[in-house]
């Protein structure tokens, strides 16, 4: 093994607990705002399911029924921050 491979392995071992923590938090759910073209924005709880590799959303965090789901492999783009004009329209 070369030194570079050992350094990469050490970096991965340091990152893994942080990644696991983030995934666990997403499994519990996080509140997001969903914007619609002609309606007021709504607060939703967004969560992931590792077993099914799905992203799910619901009106409330404590519900067992979900309003919708999408397969993770279908996600093509994730935009960070307030990149939409909807944020200006609905403060």
- pLDDT tens, position by position, 16-64: 778 888 888 889 888 888 877 788 888 999 999 989 999 999 987 676 7
Let me know: does 69 contact 59? Beta carbons within 8 Å: no
pTM for the whole structure: 0.64
- pLDDT tens, position by position, 54-80: 999 998 767 678 889 999 999 888 776
Let me know: does 68 contact 56? Beta carbons within 8 Å: yes
Q: CA dist 79 to 10, 75, 76, 84, Å?
A: 30, 11, 10, 9
């Amino acid at each position: 093994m070369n030194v570079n491979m050992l350094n990469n392995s050490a970096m991965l071992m340091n990152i893994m607990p942080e990644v696991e923590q983030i995934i666990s938090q997403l499994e519990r759910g996080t509140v997001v705002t969903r914007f619609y073209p002609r309606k007021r924005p709504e607060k939703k709880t967004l969560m992931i399911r590792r077993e099914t590799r799905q992203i799910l959303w619901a009106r409330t965090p404590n519900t067992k029924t979900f309003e919708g789901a999408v397969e993770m492999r279908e996600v093509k783009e994730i935009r960070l921050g307030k990149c939409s004009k909807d944020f200006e329209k609905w403060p």
